[in-house]
Each structure stands twice: as structure tokens, then as C-alpha cells.
Amino acid sequence: MKIGIGVSFALLLATGGLFLPARGSAQGMDSMTLAVNLGDVLASEAFCGLAYDQTAIGAFINKNVKAEDMGFTSTLQMMTEGKEIDLEKMSPSAKTAHCVQIARVARSYGFTK
């Protein structure tokens, strides 16, 4: 399922932002917020020229997503696909700002070295 900017903006407002919190506080986020934020980071991997450590992503999921959370993966997929569409519309300056912060977030969670 693809979503547009309007849906992404509505989710942005509903969740209060699109970035993972400081390392160590992700466990306090609800499932939807975590899926939205992680979807942004994952969708940005190729767009920003990054390569993520798959083991680190798995460890992040194991630590922060409840085992019984059946809705997390579908929300994460929807958010990732929607963000991929939104990224292609960014200006060069917006891409630079986005990718600098995404790289910082990814590094803080050990997704990149």
C-alpha cells in the first residue's frame, strides 16, 4: 500500500515527529510511533547512500518491539514505502539536511559504523 504526503503529514502530526528518540529511550515509544520513525530511517538507507547492519536492526527490533505486537510489521512496511515516495520529491538541500540527520540517528543506534 502506498501513501502520499497528506497521509505522511497526518501521521507526522499524530506521532509528533519522524525521528527515533535518543539511544536508550526507544522502549518508551508506542508501536505506531516506533514503526513510523524506524520506517523513515529504513526508507532513507539507499536514498542517503548508507548501508545498515542487518544484525543491528534485528537487535533493535528484539529490544524495542513487543513479541506479541502483530501490527508492527504492517505499519512499518506502510511507513517505509510511503517515505520512499516522499523522499524522491525532496530538493537537494532538503535531501542534505535529511540525510545528515538520518546518518546520525542510524549511527547512534549502531545501524552504521
- Under the banding of pLDDT at 50, 70 and 90, the label for residue 26 is low
Q: Which band of pLDDT confidence, cut at 50, 70 and 90, is reported for residue 61?
A: very high
**Mean pLDDT (whole number) for 73-96:** 97
* CA 65 – CA 18 distance, rounded (Å): 17
Q: Band the pLDDT of 28: cuts 50, 70, 90.
A: low
Domain boundaries, the chain: 5-108
Of 11, 12, 8, 20, the residue nearest 106 (C-alpha): 20
Using the predicted structure, report yes or no on whether residue 91 has a pLDDT greater than 90. Answer: yes
Lookup: cell for 109:
543506534
Average pLDDT of every residue of the chain: 84
Query: How much is the pLDDT for 15?
Result: 42
- Decide if pLDDT at 16 tops 60: no
Higher pLDDT, 25 or 43: 43
**CA dihedral (7, 9, 14, 18) positive or negative:** positive
Residue 113: pLDDT band by 50, 70, 90 thresholds?
A: confident
